[in-house]
């Protein structure tokens, strides 16, 4: 079953971490600015299997993979993140198809590249204001540095907002990051 395979892959990635890296992972999970946020009592004192359950139950299976990969990259465990992404790529796509999603959205598929390579976030954020993001969230994202963190915060909003918001985001990226999108489409 695809869901249990995704759960096992996330658990395996967390199990492969050293104790110190697992603690960093948990710290960064609690420190996430993106919604939905995880409460401290759901994380503190838990082992890798319990944290896997928290991730899957809190973010859904596909969301758990995205959050886990993102946090692993933040704590310097990019090899584990890459392995997890490769292990779950086909399965999460199959799970998405089972839930009526034919293809993964472009902004989801290229999430990591967009986070790393979009540097001029201001104009993108300006256009997202009122279309997708409310003023309070806009101000909070503008206050965050560097641009990669701003992009992660934008993705946190998109994860909650759905496909229409992702379409708006994609159209804004086409306007402001045309060369980057052409490169990613190759």
Contact 55, 10 (CB under 8 A): yes
pLDDT tens sequence across 50-94: 999 999 888 888 888 888 998 998 999 989 988 988 888 755 444
Is the same domain home to 83 and 110? no
CA-nearest of 48, 66, 44, 58 to 8 is 48
Number of domains observed in the structure of the chain: 2
Residue ending a domain, choose from 39, 65, 98? 98
CATH of the domain at 117: 1.10.533.10
Q: Are residues 74 and 127 in the same domain?
A: no
Specify whether 79 is located in the same domain as 129.
Answer: no
Query: What is the residue-averaged pLDDT of the chain?
Result: 85
> How far is Cα 138 from Cα 144, in angstroms, rounded to an integer?
10
Both 114 and 140 in a single domain? yes
Task: Please say which residue of 42, 73, 98 terminates a domain.
Answer: 98
Radius of gyration (C-alpha) of the chain in whole angstroms: 16
- Domain shared by 24 and 85, yes or no: yes
Interval 111-124: pLDDT, tens: 899 999 998 999 99
pTM: 0.51
Q: Are residues 125 and 57 in the same domain?
A: no
144 and 90 within one domain:
no
CB 28 within 8 A of CB 75: yes
- The parent domain of residue 49 ranges over 2-98
Long-range Cβ contacts of 154-157 (<8 Å, 24+ apart): 154/121, 154/124, 154/125, 154/128, 155/34, 155/111, 155/115, 156/32, 156/33, 156/34, 156/35, 157/34, 157/35, 157/128, 157/132, 157/133
Residue that terminates a domain, selected from 68, 98, 128: 98
Q: Are residues 94 and 12 in the same domain?
A: yes
């Amino acid at each position: 079953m695809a869901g249990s395979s995704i759960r096992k892959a996330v658990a395996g990635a967390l199990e492969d971490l050293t104790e110190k890296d697992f603690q960093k992972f948990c710290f960064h999970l609690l420190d996430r600015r993106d919604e939905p946020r995880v409460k401290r009592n759901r994380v503190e004192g838990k082992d890798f299997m319990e944290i896997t359950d928290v991730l899957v139950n809190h973010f859904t299976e596909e969301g758990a993979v995205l959050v886990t990969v993102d946090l692993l990259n933040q704590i310097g465990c990019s090899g584990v993140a890459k392995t997890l992404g490769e292990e779950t790529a086909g399965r999460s796509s199959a799970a998405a198809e089972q839930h009526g999603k034919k293809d993964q959205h472009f902004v989801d598929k290229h999430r990591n590249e967009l986070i790393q390579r979009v540097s001029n976030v201001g104009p993108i954020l300006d256009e997202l204001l009122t279309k997708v993001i409310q003023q309070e969230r806009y101000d909070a994202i503008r206050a965050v540095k560097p641009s990669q963190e701003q992009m992660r915060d934008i993705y946190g909003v998109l994860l909650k907002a759905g496909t229409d918001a992702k379409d708006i985001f994609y159209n804004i990226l086409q306007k402001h990051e045309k060369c980057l999108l052409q490169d990613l489409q190759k």
